[in-house]
Amino acid sequence: MAQVGYSDQTMSRQAMKAELLDAETELRLAYAWRDQRDEKALHRLITAYMRLAISMASKFRRYGAPMNDLIQEASLGLMKAADKFDPDRGVRFSTYAVWWIKASIQDYVMRNWSMVRTGSTSSQKALFFNMRRVQAKLEREAAQVGETLDAHQLRQMVATEVGVPLADVEMMEGRLSGSDYSLNATQSSEDEGREWIDALEDDGAQASDLVEGAHDTACLRNWLVKAMTDLNARERFIVTERKLRDETRTLESLGEELGLSKERVRQLEAAAFAKMRRSLETQSREVQHFLL
């Protein structure tokens, strides 16, 4: 396993000195770890294949991650492979370990590429690691037949080639176009340059919206007060108890208090709402007429 403080050259030299396991020895060590949890067997198995992990880690250096970190992730993938390896399947451990090592390194690269999550699905992961290669291949093939692909055509062809939606290609192209920048960085080299955060749209309500909202709320409140004054005392009481209290009352409880049946209270409530609706409609038409 990679060790903190060791250079990648040192780990590479140590890995190259490790023994090469034949199939019989490898199988014996795998059984010893699976059946007896023999840690010495596990250590010997992992040490023998660290050169494989380091070799695979070196292929991901172009993504900008420190080689030591890549080796660390590769060794974690190697240990996961050893823990899950079933020697009864008749497959060499190195063949089985390749997938786990690669998956561990790729997860690390994608987690650390950007503060924004780069991708979560298997198709997005495949796109992240293959888009540049597929783009170069498609452009090369087009050039061979004398064609030139514009950006939109290239994105569509990449989406078809990799088998992902066009939106994923557009998203990933933006992710791969550059590294993260601080919102507090200035937009120019001048000392008084504006910070990028100043260019973000304010999500809060604008002053004009607040004023309009307050005006509309006041108008609606006045309309409702006027509509309530058009009701008689009993109707106002029913509407207040049924709709304007924190804990509204039932038709049955109001009927008991007023000496009416539950059905009669419901009829009075419906009549009161009808009066209020007519009052609100009348006031609304008057406002519209005034504005026109």
Is residue 96 within 8 A of residue 85, CB to CB? The reply is yes
Q: Helix or strand or coil: residue 163?
A: coil
The parent domain of residue 54 ranges over 8-113
Listed residue (66, 77, 79, 78) closest to 109, CA to CA: 66
Is 165 domain-assigned? yes
Which segments of the chain have a pLDDT < 70?
1-9, 11, 113-124, 174-206, 286-292
144/86 same-domain check? no
Q: How many CB atoms lie within 10 A of CB 89?
A: 7
Q: What amino acid occupies position 104?
A: S
Is 194 domain-assigned? no
Q: Helix or strand or coil: residue 186?
A: strand
149/71 same-domain check? no
CA atoms within 13 A of residue 118's CA, in its CB half-sphere: 24
Instruction: Please say which residue of 77, 95, 113 terminates a domain.
Output: 113
Token digits of residue 275: 């009066």
* Tens-digit pLDDT profile for residues 169-192: 877 776 666 554 555 566 665 556
Instruction: Please say which residue of 113, 132, 147 terminates a domain.
Output: 113
> What pLDDT sits at residue 53?
92
> What pLDDT sits at residue 121?
65
> What pLDDT sits at residue 74?
93
Give the global pTM: 0.48
Is 1 domain-assigned? no
Is 21 domain-assigned? yes
Is 190 domain-assigned? no
**What is the C-alpha to C-alpha distance for residues 89 and 75, in angstroms, rounded to an integer?**
23
81/144 same-domain check? no
Q: Helix or strand or coil: residue 195?
A: strand
Is residue 56 within 8 A of residue 74, CB to CB? The reply is yes
Is 129 domain-assigned? yes
* Tens-digit pLDDT profile for residues 83-130: 999 999 989 999 999 999 998 998 888 777 654 454 556 666 777 777
154/248 same-domain check? no
Token digits of residue 92: 């060499």
Is residue 272 within 8 A of residue 235, CB to CB? The reply is yes
Is 3 domain-assigned? no
**What sections of the chain are H helices per DSSP?**
8-16, 23-36, 39-48, 50-58, 67-84, 93-113, 122-144, 151-162, 166-176, 207-229, 233-243, 251-258, 262-291
How many domains, in total, are found in the chain? 3
40/99 same-domain check? yes
> What pLDDT sits at residue 197?
60
Q: What amino acid occupies position 209?
A: D
28/98 same-domain check? yes
129/93 same-domain check? no
